[in-house]
Amino acid sequence: MIDKTLPGASVTHFIDHTILKPDATDEDIKKLCQEAKQYGFAAVCINPPFVPLAAEHLKDTQVKVCSVAGFPLGAHPSEIKAQEARWAVQHGAQEIDMVIPIGQLKMGRWEIVKNDIISVVQATNGDAIVKVILEACLLTDEEIIRGCEIAVSAGAAFVKTSTGFSKEGATIEAVTLMRKTVGLNIGVKAAGGIRTLTKTREFLTAGANRIGTSSGVRIVEGKE
């Protein structure tokens, strides 16, 4: 387990240790899981095909397996997102990070967005929590607020800033707005471009209670 004298020891349980790059291999996932166990991260976040491997390596630990649905564009039909989520949960995922249909939100088609989220929430059958990725860099403040409100009404457990695959990642402004909108009973996950302990603490102070990053070890070791 983690050396409590490391600079970032206090933030380990907020971190989703992440590999979502397209060229990830089995060995990358095994290393990710080993690091997650060593440092006590909240979860590993991986693409669906790696869920069975991660679930096997993390069994009998406190580290959760998180996978994605509709990633990274949110442009999949809702039925496909739901099936992705269902498959991942059946194979060991305990958390699902889904991307909303961003264009539909921007067009004001609230019911389509809500039903998209509901389809994924229902597909988990209560066996996983759902985090809703808004891709805040593509939205106005008003759209972020409405997206958060829809996610809460659809049964999501978290709202999340970003995929990390768009033009910008998490910002303090977006996290602050999201926390203000959802209140204290819904989680806020900041992800995208968070690579240092200083930034991690800034996002936690702004209201995030999960940090999605591929730099978890660097953060915990306090490397700036």
Question: Residues 81, 114, 189, 199: which is the catalytic one?
Answer: 189
Residue length, the chain? 224
Question: Residues 37, 114, 131, 160: which is the catalytic one?
Answer: 160
- Give yes or no: 3 in active site: no
Contact 4, 30 (CB under 8 A): no
How buried is residue 202: exposed, middle or buried, by Cβ count under 10 Å (0-12/13-18/19+)? Answer: middle
Where would I find the H helices in 102-182? Answer: 102-106, 110-123, 141-153, 172-182
Pull the structure tokens for residue 35: 């690091």
- Give yes or no: 97 in active site: yes
Question: Residues 97, 114, 116, 199: which is the catalytic one?
Answer: 97
Rounded to a whole number of angstroms, the distance between the first and last alpha carbons of the chain is: 23
The radius of gyration of the chain's CA atoms, rounded to the nearest angstrom, is 16
What is the C-alpha to C-alpha distance for residues 192 and 185, in angstroms, rounded to an integer? 23
The H or E element spanning position 7 is none
- Give yes or no: 189 in active site: yes
Q: How many CB atoms lie within 10 A of CB 111?
A: 10
Residues with catalytic roles = 97, 160, 189
